[in-house]
Structure 1
Amino acid sequence: MASAAASPQREPTPSAPSAPLAAAPSSSIPQKRTLEDVHSPAVSSPLNPEPKPQKVQLQVPDDGQVMAREKRTKKDSLKKRESKGAPDSSRATPDPKQAEPQGELAPIRYKLANPKPGDFELSREPVFASHHEVQDPEGKTIEFLETSDHVYNKKNFHYTHCIADPAFPSMFYYRNTEPPPFAAHLSFEDTASHMYFDRAGRHVTSDKGFRMCRANVAVREGRWYWECKVIRGILKNRGEGDPESHGHVRVGFARREASLDAPVGFDAYSYGIRDVAGQKVHMSRPKDFFPPGEDIREGDVIGLEIQLPSERLQRKIVQGQYNPAIDAADDGDGDGAPEAPNIIRDRIPIRFKAHIYFEKIDYHATKELEELMNPSPMASGHNAEPPNPNHPAPALRTLPNSCIRVYKNGLLVGTPWTDLLAFLPPASKQAQQTGGREALDDGTLGYYPAVSVFRGGAVEMNFGPDFWFPPPGPEDTEMEGVDGPPRKTTEALRAVAERYDEQIVEDIVYDIVDEVGFWMQDGGKVIDRSARDEKAVAPGSEEIKELVQDD
C-alpha cells in the first residue's frame, strides 16, 4: 500500500458563481434551497434541457464564499459490471488500437508486439499418447489416443490456429492456418474433454458419459453428405454372456451454440439420431423414426444429408424480408448481382504452449430458443407462435426447403427434420458478457457434422469423397416443398470433404480483405519489422497474451 505522502494532492473544489454572504455571520449555516430548486427535475428532457443537480451540498469556508460540492459518481462493483455484460478483461487482450471510427461492422484491431521467430513456423498437431485399443466389427485393431497440449473451445470462446505471415505489411501480422491432418476431420479443439481420437481425427470414443465433438467444417448452403460407421455400440449378434452393448452413440448436425458437454440433439441447436430404436432427438425430445424394432448396431453405416437454402434467401429470412410468394423457389440470385456475405472477424492472437491461436468470441444460446426448449408459464410469449420463416423473433425463424435425411447401409430411411432453424445473425448472437457484438457473422456459423459417444461407444467418420455407400444422385432425390407436393432437385449432393477445401479458400479471402483494411489504416505503408515500434505495443503489454487453460 502506498504511503500517504506518496498520494496525489487533492485538487481544490471549484467555486460556484455566487456572491459573498455579506449578511451572514462569521459562523454562517448553509442556506436552505428555494422551493424552485427542490422541485427542479433531475433528469434532462426537452422541457428541461439543463436540469439542476438533484442534491447540492453547500459549504461556507473561512473566506465567506459559498462552495458547491460536485456529486460523486458511484462506481459499480465488479460483480455488478459483469451482470451488465461488461467485457471479461481477464481473457481478451485489452486496449484495441484507437484508429479512426470504422462503424459497427469494422473488425476490432489490437495493438500487438512484433511476432516471435517461432510465430512464423507451421502449426503443429496435438501431442498424442496411446490410451487404449479396440477391435472394430471387421476385426481390425483401432488405437485410440489421448490428445494434449492444445486448447479447448469453451467458456464462450472459439479458437482457430494462426500464423505470422511476413508477406502481410500491416501491423496485425497474423492470418489463419491449418495444422495436420489437412482434411475434413473431427476437431481436436472443438470437442468436450475426455474424448479420444486416432491421428487422422476420423475415429472417436470416450469412457465417460455423453459428450460431443464437432467436425472442423461447417455447411451454410446447398446439399451435403457424410457418413459414419458404428465401431462400438449395440451388439449385432449377441452371444451367451455378452453385454447388450459396448456403449452408445448419436450422430447428426450441430450449430456453434450447441453444448459440447451433452449429446447431439440435447438442445435447439442440434439434431441427432440415437442408436437405441433409431429415434430422432431434438431439444432432448426423442421421437420414433426408424421402423419398429430396428436399432443402429455395430457395423451399421449411417449416412446423413443436409439441405440448406442459399445464403441470399437466408439473409432475407433473418432480416425479416422473406416473402413466401416470391422467395420460396429460391432460384438463383434474382435480378441483381450475387450478394457476398459480410464476414467480420474480431480476433486476437493467443499463445497456448507451443501453439498460436486466434481467440474469437463464440456464439451463445438465445433466450427465445431456451424458452422453446423449456416452455414455462413465465415465458415471454414467443412460444405462442411456432417457429416459421416470418416469426417475430429472428432466433425462431426457419429455413424453407431445408431438411436432414438419414440413410442406413445405403438405403434412405426418411427425413426426420424439415424447416431447420436459421443460424445467420441476428438469429445467432455472440456472447455479450465476454465483449461480443450482435449481428456479426464471423464465418464460423453453420451446421457442423457432429457425433456423441457414451461410455465406450465409438464411431468412424467418413467425409468422402470415397463413401462406403455412395449417396443417390439428384435425379433420385425429391425435395420437400414449402407448399404442395415434393419435387425433384437438380442440385448435386456433395461430400463434406469438398466443403473443407472451400473453407480454406474463404479463410484466405477473408484474411486478405482484413489485411487490406488494416494496411489502409496504416496509411498504405509497409511497416518496418526490423525496428520495434513502441507505439504499436499496448501500454504495459510486451507480448500477446499467454492463455492458461486446464486440460
Structure 2
Amino acid sequence: MLAESSPPPEARPSPQPTPVPAVSGKKRKRGAQPPPASSPAPSDPGTPEVLTSRSDISSRPQLKVSRGPVFIPIAEASPYCKTELIGVNRVGFRYIPAGIKPPGAVIQFRTIESHPCSYRVSWEDRSPFIHVTKDGLGLLGTKGHRSARGNAPVREGKWYMEVKILRGGGESSNEGMREGCHVRLGWGRREAPLNGPVGLDGYSYGYRDKTGEKVNLSRPRPYGRPFRSGDVIGMYISLPPKRVAKPKDPSDPGNLNRERIAIDFKGQEMFEMQEYPQSKEMTALVDYSGKSSNSISLPSSTSKKGNGNKLPERSGAPTSTTQNKDEDLRPLPLLEGSRIAFFVNGACQGVAFQDIYDFLQLRQSERKAKEKKRYREGMKESHKDNPFDDGTLGYYPFVSLFNDASVQINPGPDFLFPPPPDIDAVLDESSTMDVERHTGTWRPICERYPEFMAEQWEFDEREEQEAQANMAEISTQEKVAAQKKAQREKKKREAEARKRAKVQPEKSPSVGPGTGYHTLVQPQPSPLRHASATTYENLPPEAMSSPAPLNNADTPGPNEGYSDNGEEEVGDTFVHSNKPDGSTTWIQPTTDDSH
C-alpha cells in the first residue's frame, strides 16, 4: 500500500496558477489556488488525468515512465527551469520514481524511468538550487556551492564523459558580483552532501577551476592547469571488478538489500529510501587537522584534534598497535587499482586520485548488529537502517556550481576532444601502446544508463520471486498448522466422548413408547412385560363383577392380587379399573415373545 504523503491532485498541472473567483460577501483567501497536479506520462496514452484514491491501487494507471517532472522556466525564454512534482532528495531521504505492477504480483510496485530515458543529471538527486534544461544536460547555479549527481552510478569498469564550462573560472555574470562564478567537477558517492562542493569530505573527489587543484577531505593539493569558461573537461574513472558478496556471510556489506517504501507524492508514486549516513570513521578524517606529505592518501596514525582517539587506517596501509585499541573506529576499505583523472581540452592532467575509498558500507560490528534497531529523530518507524548494498551504491558524476556558474554535460558517445583508446596507458606514461589491442578499454558513460536500469529491473524480478517463494512457504506452514489443529480438535472430541461414556448411568430397557407402563427396574424382568394387551369393553355384567381366574392353579397367594403399579392382579391377568368411562382393560397373557 502507498504511504500517505499528500492528498491526490484534482486537476492537471499548469505552470500558471488558476485564479479562484471571489465569492460575494466573503473575502478570498490568499494562496487559495488549488495545487498543480501531475500530468500523465507522454508515453502512456489514455492515462487518466485525475488519480483516484490512494488506497485503491488497482484503479491507478500502470505507468512505464514517470509523470514528472513539470518544468517551469526561471525566466521568459530561458532554457533553464525549475522542476515541480518530484521528490527532490533532502537530508536523510532519497527518492526515485515508482510504478504499479499488474494485478497478481506479490510486490505491487516496481522501478520505472522518467523522461528523458538517457544519461543525464538526476531530477531527484540534486540541490533544488540547481536549475536544469529539459534534456537534463544543462545546469545553472544560483548562489553558494550547490551540487548535482548523475542518474546512474559507476560500480566497476572504465568510464569517460565531458563537461563544457559555459560560465566559470571566476567570470562574473553581472557587475555587482564580487566573487564570480566557479565550477568544481569530479566523482562522488551517495553520502556526499548536495549543499556543498565536490571534495568537501572523503565521499567525493574534485577538480577546481580557479587553481587547478584537486580536492578531497576539503584539502586542496596541486594537480593540473586551471580551467575557465569555454574549456572542455574530460572526466575519467576506473574501478576494479565489483567484489562478489560471500553467500555464507550474512553481515557482508556486499549483500543486496533494499529498504524502500512506496509513497504517494502529490498524486504520483515514488519510492522513499533512507539515505546512507556518513560514518564516524570518515568524519574523523575530515576533522583531522594535520598535514600530510602524501597527496593521495592520508595517514591514519596521527591523533585526532581535540582528543586522543586514533584515526582509522586505510585498508592496505600498516596498522599501528595503538589504533587497534579503539574498536569503535573500523578500517576504511579501498578499491585497489582504482583511479580518477581529468583532461582539459583533450590534454591529460595525469592521475588525480588512486586507490579511492570503497563505495560499500562499512561492516557492522557484532555488538551493533545485535542491538535493537533504533530510529533516528524524525524518521518514520517503517524505515530501517540498511548496512548493505541497495543496488544504487557507486560513484556518480558530481558537478558543483558556485553562484551563477553554468555547464553543459556531454555523456557521449561523440566527444569534442576524444580521449586516447587506452587512457590507463597514457596515465602510466607507457612508451609502447598497441592501439588495436587497447581499443575500447574505456566506455562513454551514456552506455551506463541502460545497464543500470536493467540491473534495477533484475533486482525487482528477484524480489518478486523471493516474495512468491515466501508466500508459498507461509501458505504451506499455514496448511500444516491447520491440519495439526484439526487433528488436535478431533482427538479432543474423541476424549470427551469417552469421558461421557464412562460417567453415563446404566438404565434398564423400557417396555417401549406408547404402552403406558412405567419402567420396571428389576434384576429379572417379569415375563408379563412381553404380554400383549387386549381391551375388552362392554363385557357382560357377570364378567365385570366377578372375573374368574383363567387358571385356578394361578390363584394369588396372601401377598398377591396387586401389582407394583397399583393394578389389580388376578392370576396372570392385570385388570385396569381406573379408566374414566368405567370400562375395564384386560391384559391377557400370551406366549408370543416377539413383542
Q: Tell me which interval the TM-score lies in, with the shorter structure as reference length.
A: 0.5 to 0.7
Verify the 8 A CA contact 1:388 1:396 in the aligned structure 2.
Answer: no
Confirm or deny that 1:158 pairs with 2:94.
Answer: yes
In angstroms, what is the RMSD of aligned CA positions?
Answer: 3.8
Q: Which amino acid aligns with 1:115?
A: I
Instruction: Give the 3 Å change call, closer, same or farther, for CA 384–251 of structure 1 in structure 2.
Output: closer
For 1:201 and 1:355, locate their aligned partners in 2 and report how far apart those are by CA, in whole Å: 21
Q: Which residue in the other structure is 1:130 paired with?
A: 73
Candidates 328, 338, 344, aligned match of 1:408: 344
Q: Which residue in the other structure is 2:579 paired with?
A: none
Q: Post-superposition shift, 1:113?
A: 5.2
Confirm or deny that 1:497 pairs with 2:446.
Answer: yes
Confirm or deny that 1:464 pairs with 2:412.
Answer: yes
For 2:253 and 2:217, locate their aligned partners in 1 and report how far apart those are by CA, in whole Å: 32
**For 1:16-41, what per-residue CA distance to the aligned partner results, in whole angstroms no more than 9, with x for missing partners?**
xxxxxxxxxxxxxxxxxxxxxxxxxx
For 1:257 and 1:428, locate their aligned partners in 2 and report how far apart those are by CA, in whole Å: 17
Instruction: Give the 3 Å change call, closer, same or farther, for CA 508–386 of structure 1 in structure 2.
Output: closer
Q: Which amino acid aligns with 1:448?
A: Y
Q: Which amino acid aligns with 2:219?
A: R
**For 1:476-509, what per-residue CA distance to the aligned partner results, in whole angstroms no more than 9, with x for missing partners?**
725669xx99999957111111110110110111
Q: Post-superposition shift, 1:194?
A: 1.6
Task: Map 1:29-68; keep pairs closer than 5 Å.
Answer: none
Q: Which residue in the other structure is 1:357 paired with?
A: 270
Q: Post-superposition shift, 1:171?
A: 3.3
For 2:213 and 2:363, locate their aligned partners in 1 and report how far apart those are by CA, in whole Å: 27
- 2:353 aligns to what SS in structure 1? strand
For 2:62 and 2:211, locate their aligned partners in 1 and report how far apart those are by CA, in whole Å: 51
Q: Post-superposition shift, 1:145?
A: 0.9
Q: Which residue in the other structure is 1:199 paired with?
A: 134
Q: Post-superposition shift, 1:438?
A: 4.7
For 1:431 and 1:468, locate their aligned partners in 2 and report how far apart those are by CA, in whole Å: 51
- Between the aligned residues of both structures, percent identity stands at 33
Q: Post-superposition shift, 1:475?
A: 7.5
Q: Which residue in the other structure is 1:518 paired with?
A: 467
Q: Which residues of structure 1 form unaligned runs of 5+?
A: 1-88, 92-111, 134-140, 320-338, 527-551
Instruction: Give the 3 Å change call, closer, same or farther, for CA 524–378 of structure 1 in structure 2.
Output: same
**For 1:60-96, what per-residue CA distance to the aligned partner results, in whole angstroms no more than 9, with x for missing partners?**
xxxxxxxxxxxxxxxxxxxxxxxxxxxxx999xxxxx
Q: Which has the higher contact order (CA 8 A, sep 6+)?
A: 1
Verify the 8 A CA contact 1:305 1:405 in the aligned structure 2.
Answer: yes
User: TM-score, normalised to structure 1's length?
Assistant: 0.62
Instruction: Give the 3 Å change call, closer, same or farther, for CA 455–467 of structure 1 in structure 2.
Output: same
User: TM-score, normalised to structure 2's length?
Assistant: 0.58
Q: Which residue in the other structure is 2:241 paired with?
A: 310
Candidates 347, 360, 370, aligned match of 2:260: 347
Verify the 8 A CA contact 2:199 2:205 in the aligned structure 1.
Answer: yes
Verify the 8 A CA contact 1:389 1:398 in the aligned structure 2.
Answer: no
Confirm or deny that 1:217 pairs with 2:152.
Answer: yes
Verify the 8 A CA contact 2:73 2:79 in the aligned structure 1.
Answer: yes
Q: Which residue in the other structure is 1:289 paired with?
A: 223
**For 1:7-60, what per-residue CA distance to the aligned partner results, in whole angstroms no more than 9, with x for missing partners?**
xxxxxxxxxxxxxxxxxxxxxxxxxxxxxxxxxxxxxxxxxxxxxxxxxxxxxx
Verify the 8 A CA contact 1:478 1:486 in the aligned structure 2.
Answer: no
Q: Which residues of structure 2 form unaligned runs of 5+?
A: 6-53, 289-303, 366-372, 476-595
Verify the 8 A CA contact 1:306 1:404 in the aligned structure 2.
Answer: yes
Task: Map 1:365-376; keep pairs closer than 5 Å.
Answer: 365-375=278-288, 376=304
Larger Rg computed on CA atoms: 2
Q: Which amino acid aligns with 1:274?
A: R
Task: Map 1:109-148; keep pairs closer than 5 Å.
Answer: 114-121=56-63, 122-132=65-75, 143-148=79-84
Q: Post-superposition shift, 1:116?
A: 4.6
For 1:255 and 1:201, locate their aligned partners in 2 and report how far apart those are by CA, in whole Å: 20
For 2:78 and 2:349, locate their aligned partners in 1 and report how far apart those are by CA, in whole Å: 29
- 2:459 aligns to what SS in structure 1? helix
Q: Which residue in the other structure is 1:398 paired with?
A: 334
Instruction: Give the 3 Å change call, closer, same or farther, for CA 456–272 of structure 1 in structure 2.
Output: same
Confirm or deny that 1:509 pairs with 2:458.
Answer: yes
For 2:268 and 2:274, locate their aligned partners in 1 and report how far apart those are by CA, in whole Å: 19
Q: Which residue in the other structure is 2:397 paired with?
A: 449
- 2:80 aligns to what SS in structure 1? strand
Candidates 473, 479, 482, aligned match of 2:421: 473
Verify the 8 A CA contact 2:253 2:361 in the aligned structure 1.
Answer: no
Q: Post-superposition shift, 1:245?
A: 7.7
Q: Which residue in the other structure is 2:204 paired with?
A: 270
